[in-house]
Amino acid sequence: MNDALDGWLAVAAVLLVYGLTEVAGAYGFLAAFAAGVGFRRYEHGHEVNRRVHDGAEVVEKFCELGVILLLGSMLTTAGVREVGWAGWLLVPVLLLVIRPLATAVAFLGSSIPARERAFIAWFGVRGIGSLYYVAVALGLGILSVDESRNLFWTVAACIITSVVLHGVTASPLSRRLLPPPKQPEGSE
């Protein structure tokens, strides 16, 4: 298999499973997730699995960058005002309370050191996936136009705030919370 195309193989597999499941009238998102878990468990340490994973990670980062650029290009003062005071109060609660608590619960009984857990709690979960759920909610048509705008801009405010906070804190917190990289033997 060509290393340059390995990431696209993963994307094609996800889209194929998602599409076929939706055509069959089932939930494509869940099927794509299950297929990913199954693929990951198949010959976990196999070289092809590693290359596909690494390639898919490159594709993921590229797509994430595109979404962030698109979201940034949509940002307007009207959109910022659309969030309202309640939405702006929700943003720090989500980023500073709910996400760290959810991470703490997820790592109960884990052997991961506390500093690394703190790093994961702050940087681990990204908000880009929230846009998918907003799209589903808006696609159902159960919200009014005003509610739809408010929901979208509140999620966008959370993502944009997260990007700014994580961008500003990435370097200092990485140095403080993560162990230093191991030096190869014989190097100084």
64-107 pLDDT tens trace: 888 888 888 888 888 888 899 999 999 999 999 998 899 889 99
d(CA 50, CA 33): 18
Tell whether 185 is covered by a domain: no
Residues of the domain holding 100: 75-180
Q: Are residues 173 and 89 in the same domain?
A: yes
Q: How many domains does the chain contain in total?
A: 2
Tell whether 69 is covered by a domain: no
Q: Are residues 49 and 104 in the same domain?
A: no
Best CA proximity match to 17, nearest among 6, 32, 7? 32
d(CA 159, CA 131): 9
- Cα Rg, the chain, nearest whole Å: 20
4 — pLDDT class (breaks 50, 70, 90):
low
User: Could you tell me how many residues make up the chain?
Assistant: 188
Lookup result for tokens 């759920």: 133
Q: Are residues 40 and 19 in the same domain?
A: yes
Q: Are residues 163 and 90 in the same domain?
A: yes
Q: Are residues 90 and 162 in the same domain?
A: yes
Q: Are residues 83 and 139 in the same domain?
A: yes
Tell whether 187 is covered by a domain: no
pLDDT of residue 1: 53
Q: Judge whether 128 and 154 are in contact, CB under 8 Å.
A: no
Q: Are residues 79 and 121 in the same domain?
A: yes
How does pLDDT run across 18-75, given as a tens digit for each residue? Answer: 999 999 999 998 999 898 888 777 666 667 667 777 777 788 788 888 888 888 888 8
